[in-house]
A and B are shown apart, each in its own frame.
Chain A
Amino acid sequence: DADVTQTPRNRITKTGKRIMLECSQTKGHDRMYWYRQDPGLGLRLIYYSFDVKDINKGEISDGYSVSRQAQAKFSLSLESAIPNQTALYFCATSDFGNEQFFGPGTRLTVL
């Protein structure tokens, strides 16, 4: 089984809808991250969490919120989706200062 799983893998939605992307990990790591990937822009950090009670904004948090339900679960919400949030979203986990382990990604399209 994969160490980091993301659901759904693909989602098409309409402007104004609320969307939640979920991430689960079996690595036992405290640190979890949400990134979005856009062509030519690499990965940009949306939110990150260094433990269950620690949530931090990344470089592009506007329009997004997160919830760390447990050490293994970190969800990303778009309260009111807009077309420029169409992107590939990745969840990742890590130990302190170490390599990140990525999920397979969620392709989100907002019409």
Chain B
Amino acid sequence: AQSVTQLGSHVSVSEGALVLLRCNYSSSVPPYLFWYVQYPNQGLQLLLKYTSAATLVKGINGFEAEFKKSETSFHLTKPSAHMSDAAEYFCAVSDRTGGFKTIFGAGTRLFVKA
């Protein structure tokens, strides 16, 4: 069965610092992988997705993620944090064994300090 583990329920960075949010997945077949962002009092919106094309995926707002099959990881990065990046971030996986339904991680809340 698919699963997703996000390391760290809370991450705090200073404005301008590197953002690194960690995600490891479990899937017995090639997965689709996603990062979603949730701003306060809103639903989730897609940041980026990996669907077996390029392993380095670029998303909106300067975020990117790299698919590493050997490490079963899909970590999210941004070179320079902005105050507006403060939100909750969810990693998610889907694959054909689950009929492509999506399983979400527990989420990581990102705090950005001025």
Contact = CB atoms under 8 A, between A and B. Distances in A.
Interface stretch (A13-21, A43-51, A74-82): A43-51
B103 A45 contact: yes
Interface string B38-78: 00001111100101000000000000000000000000000
Given A42-B90, A90-B44, A99-B34, A48 B101 contact: yes
B105 A42 contact: yes
B1 to A, nearest CB: 10
A42 B105 CA distance: 6
The secondary-structure label for the interface of chain A is: strand
A104 B94 contact: no
Nearest to B107: A42
Contacts of A58: 101
A105 B9 contact: no
A50 B99 CA distance: 9
Given A90-B44, A99-B34, A103-B43, A42 B104 contact: yes
Contact of A102 (B32, B44, B101): B44
A90 B43 contact: yes
Contacts of B9: 40
Contacts of B103: 45
Contact of A99 (B42, B43, B46, B96): B46
A45 B90 contact: no
28 contacts: A33-B102, A40-B106, A40-B107, A42-B6, A42-B105, A42-B106, A42-B107, A43-B44, A44-B104, A50-B99, A56-B101, A58-B101, A94-B102, A96-B100, A97-B94, A97-B96, A98-B32, A98-B49, A98-B51, A99-B46, A99-B49, A100-B36, A100-B44, A100-B102, A102-B44, A103-B43, A104-B42, A105-B43
Interface of B: 6, 9, 32, 34, 36, 42-46, 49, 51, 90, 94, 96, 99-107
9 tightest A-B contacts by CB? A102-B43, A97-B100, A42-B106, A43-B104, A99-B46, A102-B44, A42-B107, A42-B104, A104-B43
